[in-house]
Structure 1
Amino acid sequence: MHRFWEKVIKPVMIAAQPAHIVEIGSLTGLNTFKILDYCHHTGSKCTVIDPAPQFDADLLSDYYGESFRMVKDFSLQALPGVEPYDMILIDGDHNWYTVYHELKQVERMALSAGAFPVVMLHDIDWPYGRRDMYYFPESIPEEYRKPSAMQGVEPGNPLLVPGGGFNHMVHNALVEHGERNGVLTAVEDFLKETTFDLSWHALRSNNGLGIILPGDTPYGRMIPFILNTSGL
């Protein structure tokens, strides 16, 4: 998601002026460090959720103080304990079950807080827009878990690639497309059901970035401008 920082994420943050940002999935922290710099200069705070962050969270905590909170847990276990937020970046486990239920938890928070946050989601395009991927397959209930294998994927091939291929080191669903399969499918299913007035915006480059906005936001007109002029 960090590839969208300069041209999309930072401008959206400046327009929305979030006071509390949640980041799901931090990996090595390339995006996290940028968010924390924003928080440091604006007096905002960031809660990062990742069961296995690949950076020194204690060091960041010492440097950023109350602007930073690290939660080392799965997102679906952690989100109910996070105080209300006005922006959330979702780039964690790229599968229907996780993303759909992350959005449902965002919705429950919004119902309690009285306002829906800005939601940014990575990987709404190939390879995981229409295919589940599991970092920890055992964390997904069996009835929602697609048959998968630690084999890679390639553009235009709905099946997995024995030996090699993109992301061959994680568990990928054996088949692309179909019901309850992939990040974009989870977003679409959520948007069909929610009672909130929301708008949806998408970029297809860099594996895809989706943005969900509350329909009545005063900065809503800025988002299409930011996306259309990003060059992405």
Structure 2
Amino acid sequence: MHRFWEKAIKPIMIAVQPTNIVEIGSLTGLNTFKLLDYCQHAEARCTVIDPAPQFDVELLKDYYGEAFQMLREFSLQALPKLESYDMILIDGDHNWYTVYHELKQVEHMAKSSGAFPVVLLHDTEWPYGRRDMYYFPDSIPPDYRQPNAKQGLVPGNPQLLPIGGFNHVVSNAVLEHGERNGVLTAIEDFLRETEFDVTWYQLHSSNGLGIIMPAESPVVRVLPYILSTSGL
């Protein structure tokens, strides 16, 4: 998601001016560090959710202080512990079950707080827009888990490769498309069901970035300009 920072995420954040941010999926922290720099300057707070962060958490706690909170848990365990937030970035486990239920928990929080946050979601395009990926397959209930294998992918080929390929070290769904399969499918299912009046935007480069925003937000007026001039 950090590839969208300068041309899309940063301008959106400046327009929204969030004070309580959640990031799901931090990996090596490339996007996390940028979020925390914003928080440090804007008197905001960022809660990062990742069961296995690949950076020095204690060092960041020392440097950013109260602007940074780390939850080393699966997102669906951690989100119910958070009372409110005005922006959430979702870039964790890229599968229908996880993303759909993350959004349902965001909706539950919004019902309690009275305000739906700005939601940014990565991987709405190939390869995981229409195909599940599992970091921890056993964490997904069997009824929602696609047949999968630790085999890689290549653009233009719907089949998993026997050797090598993109993301061959994680478990990828054997089949692409179909019900309850992929990040974009999860978003579409959520948007059909939610009672909140929200708008949906999408950037298609760099594996895709989706944006869900409350329809009444004043930022809706400038968001098309931010996205159309991003060059992404």
Q: What range describes the TM-score normalised by the shorter chain of this pair?
A: over 0.9
**Correspondence for 2:110:** 110
- Whole-angstrom CA distance in 2 between matches of 1:225 and 1:161: 40
1:69 equivalent in alignment to 2:69: yes
- Whole-angstrom CA distance in 1 between matches of 2:223 and 2:175: 34
- Whole-angstrom CA distance in 2 between matches of 1:219 and 1:181: 31
What CA deviation, in whole Å up to 9, does each residue of 1:93-129 have, x standing for no partner? 0000000000000000000000000000000000000
Residue identity matched to 2:146:
K
1:99 equivalent in alignment to 2:138: no
Task: Name structure 1 gaps, 5 residues minimum.
Answer: none
**Correspondence for 1:40:** 40
Percentage of matched positions with identical amino acids = 73
**Correspondence for 1:86:** 86
1:4 equivalent in alignment to 2:21: no
- Whole-angstrom CA distance in 1 between matches of 2:56 and 2:230: 32
**Correspondence for 2:132:** 132
**Correspondence for 1:174:** 174
Normalising to structure 2: TM-score of the pair?
Answer: 0.99
Offset at residue 82 of structure 1 (A): 1.3
- Whole-angstrom CA distance in 2 between matches of 1:175 and 1:154: 13
Normalising to structure 1: TM-score of the pair?
Answer: 0.99
Offset at residue 208 of structure 1 (A): 0.2
What CA deviation, in whole Å up to 9, does each residue of 1:117-150 have, x standing for no partner? 0000000000000000000000000000000000
- Whole-angstrom CA distance in 1 between matches of 2:219 and 2:132: 33
Task: Name structure 2 gaps, 5 residues minimum.
Answer: none
Measured on the aligned residues, the alpha-carbon RMSD in Å equals 0.5
**Correspondence for 2:157:** 157
Matches within 5 A, 1:13-52: 13-52=13-52
- Whole-angstrom CA distance in 1 between matches of 2:164 and 2:200: 35
Runs of 4+ deviating beyond 3 Å: none
- Whole-angstrom CA distance in 2 between matches of 1:128 and 1:41: 34
Residue identity matched to 1:69:
Q
Find the residue that maps to 1:88 and give its secondary structure: strand
**Correspondence for 1:215:** 215
Would you say how many aligned residue pairs link Structure 1 and Structure 2?
232
Offset at residue 83 of structure 1 (A): 2.5
